[in-house]
Homo-oligomer: A and B are copies of this chain.
Amino acid sequence: MHPFALDPRLDRDTLPVMSLGLCDLRLMNDSRWPWLILVPKRPGITEMHDLTPLDQTMLTFETALVADCMKKTLNAAKLNIGMLGNVVPMLHLHIIAREPGDPNWPGPVWGVGTREPYGDDEAARLVDLFRERVLCP
């Protein structure tokens, strides 16, 4: 089995925030919605039920940690959490903060329009904010 290496499309579309016990936490570089991604650092996995039971539990723990932090930090109305993988099969989990009236509300965010990257300062500010809040919830 090869070691874990991030899918190049995930690498291109996201910015690193921090490494957790199981997952890499990354920020989707799309200013239309606050959008974090957890990528379990396990090679060759495409479905959550193919993780070991311990890794499944770790993914749940890290998802709840990041989701709680994100909702409180942004005072978000609702979170959308999903694992799709129709385009990028490497297992990854989306956590998106939604507000009534945001682009495509109340529909989903995936496949909507074109990604709108952050400016460099805004990306750095958000990465720092989430890193700090996840470490000290």
What is the interface of chain A, defined by CB distance below 8 A to chain B? 46-49, 53, 56-57, 59-61, 63-65, 67-68, 71, 78-87, 89, 98, 104-108, 110-111
Option from B60, B67, B71, B85 in Cβ contact (under 8 Å) with A60:
B60
Query: A49–B78 contact, CB under 8 A?
Result: no
Query: B106–A108 contact, CB under 8 A?
Result: no
Question: Which B residues touch A83, using CB under 8 A?
Answer: 79-82
- Given known A-B contacts A49-B64, A60-B60, A108-B108, A82 and B80 have beta carbons under 8 A apart: yes
- Given contact pairs A47-B78, A79-B83, enumerate 8 new A-B contacts (beta carbons under 8 Å): A46-B78, A48-B63, A49-B67, A56-B60, A56-B61, A82-B82, A82-B83, A87-B106
Query: B48–A64 contact, CB under 8 A?
Result: yes
